[in-house]
Amino acid sequence: MPSHARSRSLKRSLAAGAVALSMTVGGVVAAAPASADPATTPESAAAAALGSPTLSATSGTDVLALLDTANKTLRSLGIQPFLNPTVAFNCTTPTASNPLGLLPAAGGAVAGPWAAPGISLPTIPLVNIDPNVVKDGQVLYGFVPAGVTSDPTSTGMQVAWFNTATGKFGIGQMGKAGDTLVDAWLANVPASPIKDMAAKTLSGIVNTIAPAGSRLAPVTTGKGTVLSAVFGTVNNGGRSCFFLPMVGVTNA
């Protein structure tokens, strides 16, 4: 088999495998039993799957409250949370009420065109800022962990996607939320001191809404039904936190 064919086959297997894995993990918390309380939410189902719905994380705040914060952050950006939330073990200092050091997180996606809601972009002389981070035929993926206090890294989180309408697929790297938005807004601006000033100004705006550990990734998926899985690691003050896969379906 030619090397390019082997590479394509491997990439297809990795994308399909990641989506299949997250479908399996997501099924644990996304599918409530027939006798479940109608008020059951993905967040409460996740806590039940972990076997400790009242587990405390940091500062006496329980895991569900932290997860609710992560979901609200995603929704405030117009990003629809995926079918299942996720959790990382040994991501924070273990306590008597949280011996496993759990921290939760939520992932999601939104089809383009998309411009960050609630963010008023400033007018900067000689700088043309395009507010649309993703265009038609693209998907913006988001990841928000809750309780991360320090995140010195910008890599580790990935998204695997598969467009069922076209057969296109891929695995992409997610970047820090602030960097991703600023890079997209200033993509067509030539390098200059003015661009550096604009980047600094915009970063300050984004950092007020994106908590530590947040990730974004704009992906050209093409139009169609897109199956996706978000998974990977975030650094929390020197701790490497692996977040189990989250799965979602997006109509691009």
Q: What is the pLDDT of residues 99-148, one digit of tens each?
A: 899 999 999 999 999 988 877 776 776 677 778 889 999 999 999 999 89
229 touches 22 (CB < 8 A): yes
Query: Of 29 and 96, which is predicted with more confidence?
Result: 96
Residue-level pLDDT at 179: 86
Closest to 153 (Cα-Cα) out of 241, 88, 89, 246:
241
| Beta carbons within 8 Å of 187's beta carbon, 6+ residues apart | 130
Residue-level pLDDT at 2: 55
Which residue type does 46 have?
A
What would the two tokens of residue 191 be? 């390098």
**In the 8-state DSSP scheme, what is residue 125?**
T
Residue-level pLDDT at 11: 44
* pLDDT one-digit tens code per residue, 143-168: 999 989 888 888 899 999 999 999 99
Q: For residue 77, what pLDDT band results from cuts at 50, 70 and 90?
A: confident
Region of poorest pLDDT, from 34-38, 59-63, 161-165, 232-236: 34-38
Residue-level pLDDT at 208: 67
What would the two tokens of residue 203 be? 């970063």
Question: Total structural domains in the chain?
Answer: 1
Query: Of 239 and 10, which is predicted with more confidence?
Result: 239
pLDDT averaged over every residue in the chain = 77
Residue-level pLDDT at 191: 81
Expressed as residue numbers, the domain containing 30 is 3-251
* pLDDT one-digit tens code per residue, 194-231: 888 888 878 777 766 778 899 999 999 999 999 999 99
Query: Of 15 and 30, which is predicted with more confidence?
Result: 15
**In the 8-state DSSP scheme, what is residue 62?**
B
Between CA 42 and CA 3 the distance in angstroms is 43
What would the two tokens of residue 145 be? 């962990």
Phi, psi of 237 (to 5 degrees): 55, 40
Between CA 211 and CA 201 the distance in angstroms is 17
What would the two tokens of residue 200 be? 């600094």
CB atoms closer than 10 angstroms to residue 56: 17
> How many residues in total does the chain contain?
252
Position of tokens 């090397």?
A: 3
